[in-house]
């Protein structure tokens, strides 16, 4: 029952997150940095820094995310930050290039600065990184990695422009590829339609000839009977 209750809670979390991210629940990834957070003001300070220094705005989420959530984004890119006493959690769209190389590093750099992860006099506080998702059948999939698998030591200066520029280029390239595929598909469909058209006309002509021949035979038969 405990496992069922836990999975149900995560299913609710991913379902609520999916509404704000605009994808299906099984496309949402949870990235949790397990830590001990003494004050929720640290989350508020992180969001303030992101807004003031990187122009990344946030808005509160009312739905249940097992913690207070904030929709964080810039332009069309967005992730969700969830406050926990046990560490920062990020919810993002699987395969979202701009979020992975843009938003997430910026959030982690800001959070790491507040938490003192870059002070060499103190060891990193992150105990583990936990990745969770819900599959299409609603089952909870988890992966726990000891130690911080993501570099939190990236310099904050320049990240905003550099990472987002790279993300925009990648997104632009992907969109161009999508447009090319769509264009080729439309051309192929037009060609197939064009090839089918003569076949249809030929079939109609054949049908017409057969009908005409039948009509001629009927007329000939009537003429013979009349004579």
pTM exceeds 0.75 for this model: no
CA gap 91, 79 in Å, rounded: 6
Q: Are 14 and 134 in contact (CB under 8 A)?
A: yes
Write the burial class of residue 107 (CB in 10 Å: 0-12 exposed, 13-18 middle, 19+ buried). buried
Instruction: Write out the two tokens for 107.
Output: 């959030």
Q: What's the token pair of residue 25? A: 């629940």
CA–CA separation, 30 vs 13, rounded Å?
10
Segment 129-184, tens digit of pLDDT: 889 999 888 889 988 764 444 444 444 444 444 445 555 555 565 566 667 777 77
Per residue in 55-108, pLDDT (tens digit) is: 899 999 999 999 999 999 987 789 999 999 999 999 999 877 767 777 888 898
Rounded distance, CA 129 to CA 146, Å?
6
Tell me which H or E stretch contains 225: helix 159-226
Give burial (CB, 10 Å; 0-12/13-18/19+) of 203.
exposed
Closest CA to 99 of 13, 176, 168, 17: 168
Residue 124 CB contacts under 8 Å (≥ 6 apart), including other chains = 117, 148, 152
Which DSSP symbol is given to 153? -
d(CA 144, CA 107): 21
Domain layout of the chain by residue ranges: 2-157
> What residues have CB less than 8 Å from 55, skipping those under 6 apart?
74, 160
Q: Do the beta carbons of residue 81 and residue 146 sit within 8 Å?
A: no
pLDDT per residue as tens digits for the range 3-61: 578 888 999 999 999 999 999 999 999 999 888 898 999 999 999 999 998 889 999 99
**What b/e sequence results for 131-143 when a residue is b if at least 16 CB atoms lie within 10 Å of its CB, and e otherwise?**
ebbbeeeeebeee
pLDDT of residue 88: 94
| Token reading at 179 | 């447009």
The span from the CA of 84 to the CA of 67, in Å, is: 6
């Amino acid at each position: 029952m405990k496992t069922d209750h836990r999975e149900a809670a995560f299913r609710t979390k991913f379902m609520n997150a999916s509404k704000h991210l605009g994808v299906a629940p099984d496309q949402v990834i949870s990235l949790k940095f397990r830590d001990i957070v003494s004050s929720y003001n640290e989350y508020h300070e992180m969001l303030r820094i992101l807004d003031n220094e990187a122009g990344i705005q946030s808005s509160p989420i009312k739905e249940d995310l097992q913690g207070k959530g904030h929709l964080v984004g810039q332009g069309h890119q967005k992730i969700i930050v969830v406050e926990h006493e046990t560490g920062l959690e990020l919810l993002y769209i699987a395969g979202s290039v701009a979020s992975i190389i843009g938003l997430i590093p910026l959030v982690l750099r800001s959070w790491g600065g507040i938490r003192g992860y870059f002070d060499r006099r103190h060891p990193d506080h992150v105990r583990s990184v936990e990745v969770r998702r819900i599959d299409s059948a609603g089952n909870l999939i988890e992966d726990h990695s000891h130690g911080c698998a993501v570099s939190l030591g990236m310099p904050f200066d320049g990240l905003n422009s550099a990472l987002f520029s790279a993300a925009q280029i990648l997104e632009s390239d992907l969109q161009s590829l999508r447009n090319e595929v769509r264009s080729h598909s439309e051309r192929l469909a037009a060609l197939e339609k064009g090839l089918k058209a003569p076949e249809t006309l030929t079939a109609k002509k054949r049908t017409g000839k057969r009908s005409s021949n039948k009509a001629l035979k009927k007329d000939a038969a009537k003429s013979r009977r009349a004579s």
